[in-house]
Chains A and B, each alone.
Chain A
Amino acid sequence: MKDIITLHINGDELEVGVSTHFTLLETLRYALGLTGSKQGCDKGDCGTCTVLLDGQSHLACIMPVYEAIGHEITTVEGLADGRTPHPLQDAFDLCGAAQCGFCTPGILCSSYGLLAEKAHPSRDEIRRALSGNLCRCTGYTKIFEAVEVAAESLRSGADPRDIVAERYDLAFPSRSMQSAACAPGSTGASDA
């Protein structure tokens, strides 16, 4: 059975046709083409589908889409401010916190939720906030670091590049890391 529902996603009000059994993740990925949110297990175990509902992190793969109606939904595509990435997104690149990148959208949403509540989270608070998001590449260390850099950037208004440059005492801080707006583009043929 099909239905047409209205969802509020990343600041947009969207009418969308769904199968009535759709989860929020199926709706995002298959009905709306918002493929930033990933599916890793389809049963709520891995956390890569994590999105924000009214600022709280939720697992989109086990949420019937009807439960999302009336809530403000934020996905990884909605974190950036126009063409400027959110400091979290910039810090994840600068710190090497996204290797394969498949868990990254979910981890960013969980981190975003954390930083909205806590401006200066401790390492333990970050660990706890991300405990529902599995990462298989990094061992989490660089992720913790990136969240800390983003938190500092949000608090002080400093560019994440400068924070990283200071942490590592870089010889060519401003130049070896282009601003996010002109960072090298992935030209994976898959984009074609």
Chain B
Amino acid sequence: MRNEDLFPLQEVTADAPERLREVAEAEFRTIGGRNRSTDGLHKSTGKAVYTDDMTFPGMLHGKILRSTEPHARILSIDPAKALELPGVYEVITGKDMPTPYGIIPWTPDEHALALEKVRFVGDAVACVAAIDEETANTALGLIEVEYEPLRYYLDPEEALAPEAAATPIHEPRKPGHNGNVLKRVQLEFGPVDEKMEKADVLVEGEYFFHGTTHTPIEPHCAIARMNQNGLLEVWSATQVPHYLHREIARVLGLDVAKVRVVQPTVGGAFGGKSEPFDLEFCVALLAIRTGRPVKILYTREEVFYSHRGRHPMKMSYRVGASRDGRILAVDAKTILDGGAYASFGLVTTYYSGQLLTAPYEMDSYRFDSTRVYTNKAPCGPKRGHGSVQPRFAFEISLDKVAEKLGLDPIEFRRGVFMGTGRTVNEFRVQSNGFLECLESVERASGWMNKFRKMGYGRGIGVAGSCYISGTNYPIYPNPLPQAAVQVQVERSGRVTVLHGASEIGQGSDSTMAYIACEELGVPLDYVRVFSADTDLVPVDLGAYSSRETVMVGNACVMGCREIGEKVRGSVASEWGIEPSHVRLAGGWAFDRRDPASPERRMPIAQAFQFAEAEHGTLGAVGHYNTPKEGVHGEYRGGTIGASPAYSFTAHVAEVDVDPETGFVEVKTIWVAHDCGRALNPVLVEGQIEGSAYMGYAEAILEEQAYKTGEHQGALHDAPSLLDYRIPTSLDCPEFVSLIVESIDPEGPYGAKEAGEGPLHPSLPAIANAIYDAIGIRIDSLPFTPDRVWRAIRDAEAAKSAEEVA
């Protein structure tokens, strides 16, 4: 059987035969290389198709009427006038979709359109489908809604007050509770009070994280179409097609097998598209009702109000340490400002405490976190879900402890490094490159010559962090695979990977392609990747909790290896050698002991043909489930925050502070991140830089804030990209990304996450650098000029008062 006979025109982009010795000696051929992405050129040539780029014949446009009241009972909704407007096809309200939903199955407190009450300015009330956007907008103005305003709460502490329980934002889930509390978590590991008493150094502080939002450049968009055969198809800019699939079917009362959800190219998400949104339910119902395809595209203002961004948190931290630099006790009390709905809030509440226990050894730890409803846009998961805020408080606390102990903060962190093993809350850590991360940023930043040495106005600061590579349990309890792929190998040499992971710019499609190349020996342009279409691919739970590389990656390795073994076996019999001597790499099958031998070398397509002749059509599935035994504690909540592998990061930030204006210029952020193994360093660096950028932005520029006062109270303060200032190319510091590889036994080729972890230390590293620069601690974010300037002024006033006294 000769490949040339089957495919005479085959243009093989394989490695040159004379290079095969080099290929044979390398551990990997594709993994670890600075390879192209699968979709980069599609994006850079304008060919990638995003949801709003799609149109269908006869497509209608939907628009959502949003509440103007922060908290009110809906007395009536009258769509009659809107329905009379020519070009209006349908108006729907909450009564049309009365089934409540929520991404967390235990806290379903949302309706696609508000049912009896609205709970924030921007809550969806009604939705119009019309012939075009203009008509739909006009129709919105004709819908008459009568509200009975209720007392509203913008401050979580006000919502917690006993009198607020009389007019709660949600009905209490248990009698006698304050309906404004979604969840309280109290956990203690080790004897905190006892240890705290023994502490030689005690640092107490109040910290505030202000709340920020994701701001993907692509606004949310969804299209639905009802087919003649009863199949409802939904295209959406989502990062969780599977959960969306389930929830659309549930809320609309449809058979889930007759719903298809497709995720087109997504223009950024960062956690902001990780649960169902009103527009997806609305297009689905409107498509069913009208028989026409329906599209809804959020305006930028709607993106700000849909939010689900990072929770504001008020955090009280006490950290006790011994004279010899050990952390004896950490005691944290946190109030999370959740906004109007639960979203992922139950998990956020746990994460605000659970994810703090590495990379440092601590003898005892206690946290008490309460998530409170307020009448603002709902908060949810943003890159580094739940743990960016406590990390801010904790890493500043550690800086204060180090100073009290008279230790360099990097030296102090080195001393409390936990290594591998168990965290104080019993998570199993199998790889930990945090020390190398610290060393890396210390060296790269020239730390030794800068810390406490640069004079007034210039400073440098350090911080560390840990993050999960996927959650150990799915959002809804089930024993099914958490990630899966199907792999097809065709006789031309083409390999197709069908997987459920959501490509949102982080590179999950490319990552699966690299794995297929590595395992099956094909060139990258022989691989096709299909993803995130519930009609085509096996279930994956989506792009959240940094789970794709480890979970879908492992599934992909499994599927590819099964085929790879068959191919090696068939080629080995052809040559009369052991299968273990056959290597598939660089577009060839060859004898790894003698890569130069032309007799024992064949194009990879031919190798596939031998296997296909022997085994029949080549295909395999791979799946992955997280290990469940011995990876977390057996206490209530012990599974939340448990992960197959943990990533580690260290940052050093250098700043200039202008004491006259309070302006903080972040000059450089050095980031070292332990990603286990970098499957493609270009993608890993991109995630590191993007994370550090986002953390920097939250520290210096961004704030999801609301107006107060009688007339404008509860309105978003700045729902535009001009006023909600995300960094431009002129604002950004230099980002220096440094990759550390610790090779985790659970990850594919040792890989762990890189998409979220590297964000965390940005904020406290900048805070600690500001202290180094001006000697003043600012424990509330963001570090805007007015806040910094006031802090300097207050410190000077306090100092002169002291001098007078």
A41 to B302 CA separation, bound complex (whole angstroms): 10
Contact status B525-A100, CB under 8 Å: no
Whole-angstrom distance from the CB of B716 to the nearest CB of chain A?
15
Contact status B33-A170, CB under 8 Å: yes
Contact status A46-B217, CB under 8 Å: yes
Judge if A148 is at the interface, Cβ distance under 8 Å.
Answer: no
Judge if A138 is at the interface, Cβ distance under 8 Å.
Answer: yes
Contact status A184-B527, CB under 8 Å: yes
Chain B, residues 1-44, CB within 8 Å of chain A (1/0): the string is 00000000001011110010010001001100111111111111
Of A88, A98, A127, the most chain B CB neighbours within 10 A belong to A98
Residues from chain B with a CB closer than 8 A to the CB of A191 are 49
Contact status B37-A134, CB under 8 Å: no
Residues from chain A with a CB closer than 8 A to the CB of B729 are 126-128, 130-131, 133, 135, 140, 143-144
Chain B, residues 377-409, CB within 8 Å of chain A (1/0): the string is 000000000000000000000000000000000
Contacts A45-B721, A46-B217, A131-B728; A137 near B505 (Cβ below 8 A):
yes
Q: Which of B19, B44, B503, B696 contacts A108 (CB 8 A)?
A: B44
Residues from chain B with a CB closer than 8 A to the CB of A140 are 693, 729, 732
Chain A binding site: helix, strand, loop or mixed by DSSP?
A: loop
Judge if B417 is at the interface, Cβ distance under 8 Å.
Answer: no
Residues from chain B with a CB closer than 8 A to the CB of A105 are 46
Whole-angstrom distance from the CB of B159 to the nearest CB of chain A?
31
Contact status B46-A103, CB under 8 Å: no
Contacts A141-B735, A171-B26; A96 near B683 (Cβ below 8 A):
yes
Q: Which of B43, B215, B685, B696 contacts A104 (CB 8 A)?
A: B43
Residues from chain A with a CB closer than 8 A to the CB of B218 are 38, 40, 100, 102
Chain A, residues 107-144, CB within 8 Å of chain B (1/0): the string is 01000000000000000001110111111111111111
Judge if A75 is at the interface, Cβ distance under 8 Å.
Answer: yes
The count of residues in chain A whose C-beta lies closer than 8 Å to any C-beta of chain B is: 75
Contact status B45-A85, CB under 8 Å: yes
Whole-angstrom distance from the CB of B534 to the nearest CB of chain A?
10
Contact status B267-A46, CB under 8 Å: no
Contacts A96-B685, A139-B690, A187-B530; A104 near B44 (Cβ below 8 A):
yes
Residues from chain A with a CB closer than 8 A to the CB of B692 are 139
Residues from chain A with a CB closer than 8 A to the CB of B269 are 100
Whole-angstrom distance from the CB of A183 to the nearest CB of chain B?
5
A43 to B13 CA separation, bound complex (whole angstroms): 46
Closest residue to A41 on the B side, CB-wise? B300
Closest residue to B505 on the A side, CB-wise? A100
Closest residue to B687 on the A side, CB-wise? A99
Closest residue to B506 on the A side, CB-wise? A99
Q: Which of B19, B44, B299, B732 contacts A139 (CB 8 A)?
A: B732
Contact status B41-A175, CB under 8 Å: no
Contact status B45-A77, CB under 8 Å: yes
B residues 205-234 touching A (CB-CB < 8 Å): 214-219
Judge if B235 is at the interface, Cβ distance under 8 Å.
Answer: yes
Whole-angstrom distance from the CB of B249 to the nearest CB of chain A?
19
Judge if B647 is at the interface, Cβ distance under 8 Å.
Answer: no
Contact status B268-A94, CB under 8 Å: no
Q: Which of B33, B36, B45, B721 contacts A46 (CB 8 A)?
A: B721
Judge if B54 is at the interface, Cβ distance under 8 Å.
Answer: yes
Contacts A176-B30, A182-B13; A76 near B46 (Cβ below 8 A):
yes
Q: Which of B36, B270, B503, B726 contacts A183 (CB 8 A)?
A: B36
The count of residues in chain B whose C-beta lies closer than 8 Å to any C-beta of chain A is: 90
Q: Which of B531, B689, B728 contacts A138 (CB 8 A)?
A: B689
Residues from chain A with a CB closer than 8 A to the CB of B14 are 175
Contact status A102-B268, CB under 8 Å: yes
A residues 158-192 touching B (CB-CB < 8 Å): 164, 168, 170-172, 175-178, 180, 182-191
A40 to B690 CA separation, bound complex (whole angstroms): 19
Whole-angstrom distance from the CB of B759 to the nearest CB of chain A?
11
Judge if B466 is at the interface, Cβ distance under 8 Å.
Answer: no
Contact status B689-A190, CB under 8 Å: no
Contact status B266-A128, CB under 8 Å: no
A136 to B726 CA separation, bound complex (whole angstroms): 8
Residues from chain B with a CB closer than 8 A to the CB of A183 are 36, 40-41, 524-525
Contact status B46-A99, CB under 8 Å: no
Residues from chain B with a CB closer than 8 A to the CB of A144 are 729
Closest residue to B49 on the A side, CB-wise? A190
Q: Which of A43, A75, A139 contacts B46 (CB 8 A)?
A: A75
Whole-angstrom distance from the CB of A126 to the nearest CB of chain B?
8
Judge if A95 is at the interface, Cβ distance under 8 Å.
Answer: yes
Residues from chain B with a CB closer than 8 A to the CB of A127 are 729-730
Contact status A185-B36, CB under 8 Å: no
Whole-angstrom distance from the CB of A46 to the nearest CB of chain B?
5
Residues from chain A with a CB closer than 8 A to the CB of B785 are none
Residues from chain B with a CB closer than 8 A to the CB of A143 are 729
Please list 15 pairs of residues, one from A and one from B, whose beta carbons are closer than 8 Å in the complex, sorted by A's number: A96-B683, A98-B40, A99-B506, A100-B218, A100-B504, A102-B267, A104-B43, A137-B268, A141-B732, A172-B15, A177-B34, A178-B525, A184-B513, A186-B38, A190-B49
Given contacts A35-B46, A172-B15, could you give 19 more A-B pairs where the C-beta distance is less than 8 Å? A34-B46, A45-B720, A45-B722, A85-B41, A85-B44, A90-B41, A100-B216, A100-B505, A101-B42, A128-B729, A131-B729, A133-B729, A138-B689, A140-B729, A141-B689, A141-B737, A183-B40, A185-B528, A190-B265
Residues of B at the A interface (CB closer than 8 Å) are 11, 13-16, 19, 22, 26, 29-30, 33-54, 214-219, 235, 262-270, 299-300, 503-507, 509, 513, 523-525, 527-533, 536, 586, 682-683, 685-686, 689-690, 692-694, 696, 720-722, 726, 728-730, 732, 734-735, 737
The 3 A-B pairs at the shortest CB distance, nearest first, are namely A36-B46, A101-B43, A102-B267
